[in-house]
């Protein structure tokens, strides 16, 4: 199972939305303390909708505790400072993809210690960053695509409705 890791997340709406994406995609969610909110916060539950009760996030007391739990797994670090693009790496089926706090990103000392594992989403020059929820979804779904969307429902079912031309006026 792929995993999203939020390092010291600050905004409950973002974590709630990412939790919803994790449930829908079958990914795990890992949260590294300190958190900028309580997991019982109404805002996190509002953003996560009815998906949140089905999410069972793993909460790590700190970065060191997370590293102990992730031994043997590849951890990708999403940052605007990376030299390689997220589509240029090969994601494994049980990799971790880490995102930093909304206001400051993953600390520089972690990034420099793992520079070969840093990935970025291309943006226009001079732009600071994308929203955390969007970034997590973009990278997660590329990792899922590379792993052939394993375990996910690949085909929907259209209901054949008859439309009248005056329905579009």
Per the annotation, does 28 bind a ligand?
no
Q: Count CB neighbours of 55 within 10 A.
A: 19
Backbone angles phi, psi at 52, to 5 degrees: -55, -40
100 annotated ligand-binding residue: yes
Q: What is the spatial order of strands in the sheet that 75-78 belongs to?
A: 58-60, 28-32, 3-7, 96-99, 75-78, 118-120, 84-85
Identify the CA nearest to 80 among candidates 36, 13, 132, 42: 132
Looking up tokens 């943006």 gives 123
Q: Binding residue per annotation — 119? A: no
Binding residues: 100, 121, 129
Binding residues for S-adenosyl-L-methionine: 100, 121, 129
């Amino acid at each position: 199972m792929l995993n999203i890791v939020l390092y010291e997340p600050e905004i409950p709406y973002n974590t709630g939305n990412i939790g919803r994406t994790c449930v829908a995609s079958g990914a795990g969610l890992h949260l590294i303390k300190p958190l900028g909110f309580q997991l019982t916060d109404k805002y996190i539950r509002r953003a996560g909708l009815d998906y949140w009760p089905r999410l069972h996030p793993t909460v790590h007391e700190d970065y060191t505790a997370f590293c102990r739990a992730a031994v043997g797994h590849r951890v990708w670090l999403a940052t605007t400072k990376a030299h390689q693009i997220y589509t240029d790496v090969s994601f494994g089926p049980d990799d971790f993809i880490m995102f930093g706090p909304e206001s400051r990103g993953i600390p520089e000392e972690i990034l420099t210690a793992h520079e070969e594992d840093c990935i970025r989403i291309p943006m226009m020059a001079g732009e600071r960053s994308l929203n955390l929820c969007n970034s997590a979804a973009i990278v997660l779904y590329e990792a899922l695509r590379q792993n052939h969307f394993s375990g996910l429902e690949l085909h929907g079912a259209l209901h054949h409705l008859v439309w009248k031309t005056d329905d579009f006026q």
